[in-house]
Amino acid sequence: MFDIASYGALLVFLIIILLQAVKVMREYERAVVFTLGRFTGVKGPGLILLIPVVQQMVKVDLRTIVLDVPSQDVISRDNVSVKVSAVLYFRVIDADRAVIQVENYMEATSQLAQTTLRSVLGKHDLDEMLAERDKLNSDIQEILDSQTEEWGIKVANVEIKHVDIDESMIRAIARQAEAERNRRARVINADGEKQAAHAMLEAAQTLATIPEAMQLRYLNTLADIGADQNTTIVFPMPMDLGSLLGNLTKPKA
């Protein structure tokens, strides 16, 4: 009976040792292996064998991670307080550096993204935050990618999700937009008046230098009046006719 119990205990011990020695890594997983505390390589995917007690491993996921950057209080360059949130897409490209160079690469990347978001957006005006998101996304992504490279992390993309503004600031922006529209309308009207005045001046100069053009314009006007079926037609009197009549009515000396 004692022998059976001993064999049973030995079998259980061997099973435990085997479970600790045999590991299976999925296609997107890697095992960072340490032998007596020293880094000895990255294994996987597939079946890997570890020496129990002597070797330990840290499993790393190589898939793209979607990380929400919490809403950050940002003061823009024109002293407007806004709340900005973003989303970050990154993945581990060097499993050994992600484990050895930083204690917790998820937490480190999240904190770095928050500080970078505040730093970059604080250098821009509110109008730039609202109108140039693509450029800001690219700037933040480049900064994060350069700083996380030593951790074995690749930042693929950064997207600003929301830029929340106070109600008072929204009303001020609406008034500013309305004032800008009114200004543009006045400028367009002024340009139209200016162009019309130039056109009328050129026409007047042409009519003054070419008498035939004045007569042609006179006949065209009469034709337009006749086409409207008016019962009364007023004929304009030429300026030279008025001068002639004035000379005839003057008493002779």
- Predicted confidence at residue 13, as pLDDT, reads 76
pLDDT, average across residues 187-201? 83
Between CA 70 and CA 107 the distance in angstroms is: 12
- Span 41-75, pLDDT tens digits: 999 899 999 988 899 999 999 999 999 999 999 98
Listed as own residue / partner, the contacts of 229-234 with beta carbons closer than 8 Å and 24 or more positions apart are none
- Span 105-120, pLDDT tens digits: 999 999 999 999 999 9
Q: Please name the helix (run of DSSP H) or strand (run of DSSP E) that holds residue 85, with its range, or none.
A: strand 81-92
- pLDDT at residue 235 above 80? no
pTM: 0.65
The domain spans of the chain are: 2-61, 65-165
Q: pLDDT grade, residue 226 (50/70/90)?
A: low
Cβ atoms of residues 52 and 17 within 8 Å: yes
Cβ atoms of residues 157 and 66 within 8 Å: no
What CATH homologous superfamily does 65-165 map to?
A: Band 7 domain (3.30.479.30)
